[in-house]
Amino acid sequence: MPDDLPLPPAALRLRLDTAALASNWRALDALSGRARAGAAIKADCYGLGMSAALPTLAAAGCQDWFVAHWQEAAAAVRHVPAAQVSMLHGPMTDAEAVYARALGVRPVLNSLEQVRRWLRAGGGACELMVDTGMSRLGLPLGDILDPAIAKLEIETCMSHLASADEDSGQNAAQLGRFRDVMRAVPARRYSFANSAGIALGPDYHCDLTRPGLALYGGVPRGELAGKIAQVAYPEAAVIQVRQLAAGDSVGYNATFTADRAMRVGVIAIGYADGYLRCWSGRGYVLWHGQRLPVLGRVSMDMTIVDLTAAENCGEGDWLALEYTLPEAAAASGLSQYELLTLLGRRFARCQ
């Protein structure tokens, strides 16, 4: 097959509203008060595509970026200065510490062993994560006075809220512990709040906030409703139109049977694309704003929808998924994070 043979267009597309993305960052930056807002860009900007999202956020004014893997750090420095990029998982080996120094990004140190590993590699500007109650990554509180900590050049000392999306007493308890950390650990700046944490108010903002979900259209707390715009618009093409008679069933295990004559469409999306079986019989797609129900069970690559009320919709036409994140999460039982990061690589990303 010739290498220059043009590839037919994808039957899935994910439109990124870059104006909404930029607006969301500016809103979160303003809500951060005297603090500056950064951006969590891990998981390919929560599934939306770093190549489009990161330059949009940089143009909006963002200067601090948080990734979870070295591959993400290497991708980020193609767009922004390496010194602005922080790698959350930290160096797991001496070789990774050497790599971080060579690339120029700041590792987030999560243990005394990572602290010593960084110092052995030559040290330099870094971040320090302290665990204040999530029991995930981070230096235990009992280790923050270790003499090795005093040898670090800490750009940002940070912790992470476990329950900021809830009205939980854990939030205030973590804040109290982090205030103790700020008194004990010298750093150029301190960072505590994620998207939901920003909505908890100025006590949680410190010097730098680290929004993720809300940048991409998620609303983790009610205080952010009306301030955050939808960013991701997934669409699927109709690949076949069929006529059903009363008594015909559709999809695996015949979970839907027509009780009348129906016009249905097969669209090119399924659980391999992140449109999971939880949408079976409960999801809707949109045709010029008209809601069309999903029928039967979602397959790996295909989903069947009711086109009876959409007479002008035919093969090759595009149907939009209902994907306003808070509503989609309530309908599907998936978290807003999952709804974004599950969107597969078969989507053509576009603006």
* 172 and 289 belong to one structural domain: no
pTM over cut 0.85: yes
Helix, strand, or coil (residue 60): helix
Angle at 233 between CA 229 and CA 235, to 5 degrees: 165
**72 within 8 A of 41, measured Cβ to Cβ:** yes
* 210 and 256 belong to one structural domain: no
13 assigned to some structural domain: no
* 258 and 309 belong to one structural domain: yes
Q: Which of 151, 227, 252, 323 is catalytic?
A: 252
**Residue that has been written with the tokens 């809220």 in this structure:** 161
Q: Where are the alpha helices (DSSP H) in 110-228?
A: 112-120, 169-184, 195-199
**Rg (the chain; Cα; Å):** 23
Domain ranges, residue 72? 18-217
Catalytic residue status for 252? yes
Q: How far is the CA of 140 from the CAs of 183, 240, 290, in angstroms?
A: 16, 57, 53
Strand partners, 305: 265, 294
**Residue 291 half-sphere exposure toward CB, CA atoms < 13 A:** 6
* 170 and 291 belong to one structural domain: no
Burial class (CB in 10 A: 0-12, 13-18, 19+), 71: exposed
Q: What is the pLDDT of residues 120-139, one digit of tens each?
A: 999 999 999 999 999 999 99
* 177 and 249 belong to one structural domain: no
Give the confidence band of 83 by pLDDT, cuts at 50, 70, 90.
Answer: very high
* 160 and 240 belong to one structural domain: no
Catalytic residue status for 99? no
Q: And the tokens for 279?
A: 């949408």
> At 237, which CATH number?
2.40.37.10
The candidate with the shortest Cα–Cα distance to 342, out of 253, 267, 278, is 278
5 assigned to some structural domain: no
Give the confidence band of 351 by pLDDT, cuts at 50, 70, 90.
Answer: confident
Q: How far apart, in whole angstroms, are the C-alpha atoms of residue 261 and residue 246?
A: 5
* 197 and 55 belong to one structural domain: yes
166 assigned to some structural domain: yes
Domain boundary at 188, 217, 246, which?
217
Helix, strand, or coil (residue 301): coil
294 assigned to some structural domain: yes
Give the confidence band of 3 by pLDDT, cuts at 50, 70, 90.
Answer: confident
Q: What is the pLDDT of residues 246-288, one digit of tens each?
A: 999 999 999 999 999 999 999 999 999 999 999 999 999 999 9
**Mean pLDDT computed over 140-167:** 97
* 198 and 280 belong to one structural domain: no
Percent of the chain predicted with pLDDT > 70: 99
225 assigned to some structural domain: no
- Longest CA span, the chain: 77
* 99 and 211 belong to one structural domain: yes
Q: And the tokens for 260?
A: 């009348």
179 assigned to some structural domain: yes
* 74 and 208 belong to one structural domain: yes
> At 163, which CATH number?
3.20.20.10
Q: Name the DSSP class of 63.
A: -
* 91 and 127 belong to one structural domain: yes
The amino acid present at 186, given as its one-letter code, is: P
Q: How far apart, in whole angstroms, are the C-alpha atoms of residue 109 and residue 148?
A: 12
Q: Which residue has the higher pLDDT, 351 or 223?
A: 223
The pLDDT score that the predictor gives to residue 4 is 83
- Alpha-carbon torsion angle 345, 104, 182, 186, nearest 10: 170
The amino acid present at 259, given as its one-letter code, is: D
3 assigned to some structural domain: no
Contacts 24+ apart (CB under 8 A), 84-93: 86/127, 86/156, 88/42, 88/129, 88/137, 89/137, 90/114, 90/129, 90/137, 91/117, 91/118, 91/121, 93/117
* 246 and 313 belong to one structural domain: yes
Q: Which of 42, 190, 233, 275 is catalytic?
A: 42
The amino acid present at 323, given as its one-letter code, is: Y
222 assigned to some structural domain: no
pLDDT at 1 over 60: no
For the chain, the domain total comes to 2
